[in-house]
């Protein structure tokens, strides 16, 4: 029996990475290493104003004084920050006005990834900003968005075209002093997406960014800034893939979200960076700082993430509930397989009155992987009548993996309610046998069970993304009828 079970798990665990191809495209690469000259080089390449360069240099100098954090439940091999290239961009690509101008190789890549860049895919209702290695390649849907005064563009463009907005908000949620990787990102970030929804505007399409690391020996450091002004709404999607390589590649992104009065931001991620091979060689180190602030009263931020990729994930999408009556949610499915390690969770910092937060975390550990939930719930002195409900479930497949839960709760106001639930389960043989007796093979049965387990989170995803996410989990699609 044990053998049969291990066979199931192995087959499930050994599915090949689908997006492991590379694109043959001429790249402009910064020399390896990190110093002030490189920071200047990046800023210069991007034609940035002085204030941006100053910001970068300040961050770089601060970073030099910091140490890599070591409190996580992760075994991180030593990273030689001088052995990386901090900027890579497809050569000769100042700006694309239409897809015809884009290198066909690049288009091919995006097609392979199923990224709806082409015009006909406008029907899917997603505006896409694609970040290839370090440079934003193409933002679709500009016209529609322009009519509503929505700004959705690459970070580089935003710095040039909307400097006041960028200046006002960049680093306001994740300051460059926040942590080691945030400081590094602030110093060398190459591009990313910027999004501003003006007062009272409900963004009619899903905004989406796809990140792709292509070039070997590079790190990717993109920066996303989303601002939802009073009474606005936006749903934002983010997807990531990378080629299969034997080396580890560093991805250290920063995402900042600002939600003003009565606005709502929904941020969904399907993270599928290359996880390394079955022996644990290669893969992306995904060290990401994502944080939102419910700045205004009655504002709402909702994080949904499906994490299946990366060799190592270190990521805690968090929300500061500053406004009264603000709401924050965090829904997460994290799958670790083979030798993957994930230390992920959320922080909910309640400052405003009557603020409410929900955390639903579903970890799935397969193979010899380690899956950790780490979360913090904090009620500040003035967070009267606030509430948090956290639910952390772990599913173990096989007997060689690990699931760990580290919840931290800090309450400074005694009118609030904090609830924490946690479960650990294994896929039971009698469940598998039941499904198999109805005619499902092992893989279908496991997929169905995992799908059911993660359902609470998957149903939070926008339709377009849900399909991709379920496919990612190699799960048969829920409810093509009924």
Partner 1 sequence: MKLIEIKNLHVNIDDKEILKGFDLDINRGEVHAIMGPNGTGKSTLASALVGKPDYEVTAGKVIFKGKDLLEMEIEERALEGLFLAFQYPVEIPGVSMINFMKTVVDARRKHNNEDPISPVDFLNLVKKSSKLVGINDKMKGRAVNEGFSGGEKKKNEIFQMAMLQPDLAILDELDSGLDIDSLKHVAEAINKLRNKNNAFLIITHYQRLLDYIVPDYVHIMNDGKIVKSGGKELAMELESMGYDDIMSKN
Which positions touch partner 1 (CB under 8 A)?
Answer: 1, 4, 428-431, 433-442, 444-445, 448-449, 451-456, 476, 478-482
> CA-to-CA distance for 129 and 131, rounded, in angstroms?
6
Nearer to partner 1, 94 or 482 (CB): 482
Pair 55, 189: CB distance under 8 Å:
no
Question: Residue 459 corresponds to which tokens in the numbers above?
Answer: 């149903």
β-partners of residue 208 are 128, 237
Half-sphere exposure of 447 (CA within 13 A, CB side): 18
Map 253-297 to HEC letters: CEEEEEECCCCEEEEEEEECCCCCCCCCCCEEEEEEEEEEEECCC
Name the minimum Å distance from CB 436 to partner 1: 4
Paired with 403 in beta bridges are 371
Nearest distance in Å: CB 461, partner 1:
15
CB of 268 vs partner 1, minimal distance in Å = 19
Sheet of strand 206-212, all strands in order from the earlier edge strand to the far edge:
135-139, 126-132, 206-212, 233-241, 264-271, 300-307, 327-336, 356-365, 387-396, 417-426
Pick from 52, 51, 57: nearest CA to 38: 57
Q: How far is the CB of 422 from partner 1 (least distance, A)?
A: 16
Q: Which is nearer to partner 1, 111 or 433 (CB)?
A: 433
Give the nearer residue to partner 1 in terms of CB position, either 78 or 438. 438
Q: How far is the CB of 182 from partner 1 (least distance, A)?
A: 36
Per DSSP bridges, beta strands 356-365 and 387-396 are parallel
Residues with Cβ within 8 Å of 112's Cβ and at least 6 positions away in sequence, in order, are 19, 21
> Which residue, 1 or 463, has its beta carbon nearer to partner 1?
1
Shortest approach of partner 1 to residue 6 CB, angstroms? 13
Q: Determine the 3-state secondary structure of 450 from DSSP.
A: helix
| CB 362, min distance to partner 1, A | 10
Q: Report the C-alpha gap between 4 and 326 in whole angstroms.
A: 49
Minimum distance, C-beta of residue 466 to partner 1, in the bound complex (Å) = 13
Paired with 318 in beta bridges are 291
Q: In terms of CB distance, is 65 or 480 closer to partner 1?
A: 480
Choice between 6 and 244, CB closer to partner 1: 6
With respect to partner 1, which residue has the nearer C-beta, 35 or 433?
433
Based on CB atoms, which residue is closest to partner 1, 150 or 333?
Answer: 333
């Amino acid at each position: 029996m044990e053998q049969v079970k291990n066979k199931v798990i192995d087959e499930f665990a050994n599915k090949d990475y689908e997006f492991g191809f590379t694109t043959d495209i001429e790249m402009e690469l910064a020399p390896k290493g990190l110093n002030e000259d490189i920071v200047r080089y990046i800023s210069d390449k991007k034609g940035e104003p002085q204030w941006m360069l100053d910001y970068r240099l300040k961050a770089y100098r601060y970073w030099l004084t910091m140490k890599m954090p070591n409190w996580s439940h992760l075994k991180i091999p030593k990273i030689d920050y001088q052995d990386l290239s901090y900027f890579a961009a497809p050569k000769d690509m100042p700006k694309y006005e239409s897809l015809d101008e884009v290198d066909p190789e690049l288009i091919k890549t995006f097609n392979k990834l199923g990224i709806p860049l082409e015009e006909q895919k406008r029907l899917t209702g997603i505006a896409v900003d694609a970040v290839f290695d370090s440079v934003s390649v193409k933002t679709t849907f500009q016209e529609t968005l322009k009519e509503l005064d929505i700004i959705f563009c690459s970070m580089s463009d935003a710095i040039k075209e909307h400097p006041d907005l960028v200046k006002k908000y960049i680093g306001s949620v994740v300051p460059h002093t926040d942590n080691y990787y945030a400081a590094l990102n602030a110093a060398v970030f190459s591009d990313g997406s910027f999004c501003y929804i003006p007062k009272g505007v409900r963004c009619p399409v899903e905004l989406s960014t796809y990140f792709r690391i292509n070039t070997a020996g590079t790190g990717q450091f993109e920066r996303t800034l989303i601002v939802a002004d009073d009474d606005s709404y936006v749903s934002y999607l983010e997807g990531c893939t990378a080629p299969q390589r034997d080396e580890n590649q560093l991805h250290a992104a920063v995402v900042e979200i600002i939600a003003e009065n009565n606005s709502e931001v929904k941020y969904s991620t399907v993270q599928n960076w290359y996880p390394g091979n079955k022996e644990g060689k290669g893969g992306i180190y995904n060290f990401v700082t994502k944080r939102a602030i419910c700045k205004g009263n009655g504002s709402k931020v909702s994080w949904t993430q499906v994490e299946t990729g990366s060799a190592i994930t270190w990521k805690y999408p968090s929300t500061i509930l500053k406004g009264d009556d603000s709401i924050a949610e965090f829904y997460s499915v994290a799958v670790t397989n083979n030798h993957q390690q994930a230390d992920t969770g959320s922080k909910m910092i309640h400052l405003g009155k009557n603020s409410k937060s929900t955390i639903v975390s579903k970890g799935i550990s397969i193979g010899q992987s380690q899956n950790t939930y780490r979360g913090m719930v904090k009620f500040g002195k003035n967070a009267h009548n606030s509430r948090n409900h956290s639910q952390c479930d772990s599913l173990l497949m096989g007997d060689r993996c690990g699931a760990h839960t580290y919840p931290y709760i800090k309450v400074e106001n005694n009118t609030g309610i904090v609830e924490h639930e946690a479960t650990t389960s294994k896929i039971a043989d009698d469940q598998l046998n039941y499904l198999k007796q109805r005619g499902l093979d092992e893989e279908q049965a496991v997929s169905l069970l995992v799908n059911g387990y993660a359902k609470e989170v998957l149903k939070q995803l926008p339709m377009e993304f849900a399909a991709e996410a379920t496919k990612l989990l190699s799960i048969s699609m829920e409810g093509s009828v009924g």
